[in-house]
Structure 1
């Protein structure tokens, strides 16, 4: 995989990436790839948002509540089958291409912005 073209700091700053805590995870059998529906709490400023995340190959529904995650909160909502995804939950592919969630390695306040 090659690197993407260079961007300015202003372009990076336009992407609002926040930390949230998964408060609920549900099956999403209608998704084309194995996915879950997540409800994520981003704290009082942003509130609770929903996300479809293709993470069912690495996580179980029981693994997810209480986990911190990073998500883009300023993309427009996206219809994914019968579900409206409000944020993009971030992850990296493992060696087999399965999505591994991005999260801080220490406790941080909900809603904190990545910089």
Structure 2
């Protein structure tokens, strides 16, 4: 499933509201970030706390251009939490951390504009 991330990509086909609701996007706080030397493209391994119901999940994120490893812990991010886990090299990525492309196509993380409780769902 290759997505076109360009700013000039056409709008996706219309969907029903139920389809939007099927995608469970939650906020979590990065508790640990590690290098991921085995990844094909430069990436970090993130451990993200989504609060008491969902708990801590792992994610691989190609965010090395804009984010230094030491700056990530404590940062809130948004992620899809209800995709099946995906094997990425030696790690199992359990959630998809969400980002937007900058002018060069490098990933900028999606974050709430103010601190919110971990586990809160996007609506």
* TM bracket, shorter-chain basis: over 0.9
In 2, Cα distance between equivalents of 1:21 and 1:47? 11
How many residue pairs end up in the alignment? 115
Trace 1:78-93 onto structure 2 (pairs within 5 A).
78-93=86-101
Instruction: Give the whole-Å Cα distance in 2 for the aligned partners of 1:55 and 1:32.
Output: 13
CA distance in 2: counterparts of 1:9 and 1:108, whole angstroms: 24
User: Given the alignment, which residue of 66, 73, 88 partners 2:74?
Assistant: 66
Deviations 1:24-43 (A, max 9, x none): 00000111111000000000
Secondary structure at the aligned position of 1:24 is classed as strand
Residue 22 (structure 2) pairs with residue 44 (structure 1): no
Gap regions ≥5 residues in structure 1: none
Q: Name whichever structure is richer in helix by fraction.
A: 2
1:1-115 correspondence to structure 2 within 5 Å: 1-115=9-123
TM-score (norm 1): 0.99
Q: Which runs of 5+ in 2 are unaligned?
A: 1-8
Counterpart Cα distance in 1 of 2:47 and 2:112: 18
Q: How far does residue 90 in structure 1 lie from its aligned partner after superposition?
A: 0.1
Partners of 2:22 and 2:93 in 1: CA distance: 20
Tell me how far apart the structure 1 counterparts of residues 76 and 97 of structure 2 sit (CA, whole Å): 11
Tell me the alpha carbon deviations over residues 27-78 of structure 1, each in whole angstroms, 9 at most, x when there is no partner: 0011111100000000001000000000011111011000000000000000
CA-atom RMSD in angstroms: 0.5
